Amino acid sequence: MNENASGETVIDLSSLLMALKKSWVSIIVWGIVGLLASLVVSFVIMTPKYSSTIDILVNQKADNTQMQYTAQQADLQAINTYQDVLKKSVILAPVVKEVRQKDNYQGTVASLQDNMTISNQTNSQVISVTVTDTNAYTAADLANTIGEVFSRKIKKMMKVDNVTVVTKAKANTNAVSPKKGLNALIGLAVGLLVGMALAIIKEITDTTVKDTDFITKDLGLTSLGAVYHIHSNEDDFGLVKVIDKNAQNVAPEKRRRV
The runs of H, that is alpha helices, within 87-177 are 89-103, 109-114, 136-158
Q: Are residue 23 and residue 95 in the same domain, yes or no?
A: no
Span 26-38, pLDDT tens digits: 999 999 999 999 9
Co-location of 65 and 150 in the same domain: yes
Instruction: Provide the residue range defining the domain that includes 246.
Output: 212-254
- Say how many Å lie between the first and final Cα of the chain, rounded: 35
- Give the CATH number for residue 110: 3.30.70.1130
Residue 172 falls inside a structural domain: no
Asked whether residue 174 is assigned to any structural domain, the reply reads no
Residues 54 and 163 in one domain: yes
Give yes or no: residues 24 and 106 share one domain. Answer: no
- 106 located within any domain: yes
Please state the pTM of the whole predicted model: 0.62
Asked if residue 252 has a cis previous peptide bond (ω within 30° of 0), the answer is no
Q: Which of 184, 103, 170 is nearest to 131 (CA)?
A: 170
Residue 173 placed within a domain: no
Q: What is the mean pLDDT of the chain?
A: 79
- Both 70 and 159 in one domain: the answer is yes
Nearest to 111 by CA among 81, 80, 84, 142: 142
The verdict on 152 and 90 lying in the same domain is yes
Whether 216 and 148 share a structural domain = no
Nearest to 138 by CA among 95, 103, 88, 86: 103
DSSP state of 235: G
Q: How many domains does the chain have?
A: 3
pLDDT tens-digit series, residues 152-211: 888 888 776 677 888 999 999 998 888 889 999 999 999 999 999 998 888 778 767 666
**Same-domain pairing of 162 and 55:** yes
Instruction: List the one residue out of 220, 178, 174, 173 whose CA is nearest residue 2.
Output: 220
